[in-house]
Amino acid sequence: MAENNSENKWYVVRAVSGQENKIKTYIENEISRLGMNSFVEEILVPQEKVVQIRNGKKVTKDKTYFPGYIMIKANLSGEIPHIIKSITNVIGFLGETKGGEPIPMRQAEVNRMLGKVDELSLQDESNIIIPFTHGENVKVIDGPFNGFDATIEKINEEKRKLEVMVRIFGRKTPLELSYMQVEKL
C-alpha cells in the first residue's frame, strides 16, 4: 500500500442520497474482491452525531453531512474509476466533465471536510487575541442554529470554542460552538 500512497488523493463520489453507507460497503467489498485494496486508502461518509428525543428518550443518530456524497482517498489509475462508477447507486465522480477525468479535492477542502483547519491558519491563530468577550452578543453563522443570536457564556481558549446561550422559543439553550461558527453582531 505504501508504494501508491503518494498517488492517493481525495475524490468525491456522487451517490444516491440516503444510501451512502450501503454504497460505501459495496465499494469496499468490490475493491477487496478484485484485490485492488492497495489503490483505495480510505472511503468516508462524513457524519455527525445528532441527539434526538423520541418518546421521551434520547436517541443518538448519525446524520450524513453531505447527503449524496462519499469521499474516497484513492489512486484512481487504471480500472479503479470504472469499477467505482459501475457500483449500484453510484452516479459518478464530482468535478468530471462528461467522460473526463475525476478531479481531486483541494487540500483546503479536504481539511475542512475532515474538520481540520489548515496547518497554516493554525499557526496564525496561536498569535491571535481571543476575538470575543464574556457576555458579548454574537450571531451564529454555521450549524443547525444558523441565524440565531447568542450570548457568550464561556470562552475555551485551548479548544477555541465558545459556550453560548441561544434563545429558542423563548427558552435559553446552551450550545458549544467554534469561533468559526459565530460572528460579532
107 and 160 share one domain: no
Give the pLDDT confidence score for residue 5 in this predicted structure.
Answer: 46
Residue 20 has pLDDT above 90, yes or no: yes
| Placement of cell 462524513 in the chain | 46
pLDDT in tens, 30-58: 999 999 999 999 999 887 777 777 787 88
Count of structural domains, the chain? 2
Better pLDDT: 142 or 36:
36
Give the pLDDT confidence score for residue 88 in this predicted structure.
Answer: 93
151 and 101 share one domain: no
**CATH number of the domain that residue 156 is part of:** 2.30.30.30
- Look at the chain and count its residues: 185
**Structural domain of residue 171, as residue ranges?**
130-184
Q: Which of helix, strand or coil describes residue 93?
A: strand
**CATH number of the domain that residue 108 is part of:** 3.30.70.940
DSSP 8-class letter at 131 = -
15 and 69 share one domain: yes
pLDDT in tens, 60-96: 777 887 889 999 999 998 899 999 999 999 999 987 5
- Long-range contacts of range 140-147, CB-CB < 8 Å, 24 or more positions apart? 140/164, 140/166, 140/175, 140/177, 140/181, 140/182, 141/181, 141/182, 141/183, 142/177, 142/180, 142/181, 142/182, 143/177, 143/181, 145/175
* pTM of model > 0.85: no
